[in-house]
A = this chain, B = another copy of it.
Amino acid sequence: MVKRTTFADAECPVARSMDAIGDGWSLLIVRDAFDGLRRFGEFQRSLGMARNILSARLRALVEHGIFELVPASDGSAYQEYLLTQKGRGLFPLIIGLRQWGEAFFFEAGEAHSRMVDREQGQPIRPLELRSQDGRLLGPEDCRRIAASERGHGGMP
């Protein structure tokens, strides 16, 4: 894929985000990290990726500040990939991908992995978009305004 360096300074936060994680592998690696995977070999076995591709993706994720490389927690010579605060910020996004997948990529009754809360073991709630005063928002209720534009009632 052609590197789209122009998006790194786009005014749109979606574009800047995609500049960092705009390929499928990156988000699947991050998904696995949230499941507790930390080592190159663990990611490699989980994803079945070619080692050179995984190596390049992990390097890019470290460069983007999504993972940090730390010595292995068990004192061995291995290094481990830990999600940074920025990487952990991707959790709602992974959940959004999961819920969209659950809704549109499985037949009724088809088994799939699930995300539950540890305390009660129940599926987590669908992500909701709400206004500042708590109204549930759909796409039609929202409007993107340019960096230069002042929103109605927005901050001065």
Contacts and interface: CB of A to CB of B under 8 A. Distances in A.
A88 interface: yes
Which residue, of A94, A105, A131, has the highest number of chain B Cβ atoms within 10 A?
Answer: A105
B111 A137 contact: no
A142 B42 CA distance: 20
B117 A13 contact: no
A23 B25 CA distance: 9
A101 B25 CA distance: 19
Interface in A104-138: 104-106, 111-125, 127-133, 135, 137-138
A113 B11 contact: yes
A73 interface: no
B112 A11 contact: yes
A12 interface: yes
A140 to B, nearest CB: 8
Contacts of A16: 101, 105-106
A34 to B, nearest CB: 5
Contacts of A121: 151-154
Interface string A141-156: 1111111100111100
A74 interface: no
A124 B131 contact: yes
A7 B98 CA distance: 13
Given A11-B113, A93-B93, A120-B152, 8 more contacts: A12-B112, A22-B27, A88-B139, A112-B147, A113-B144, A114-B154, A122-B133, A122-B154
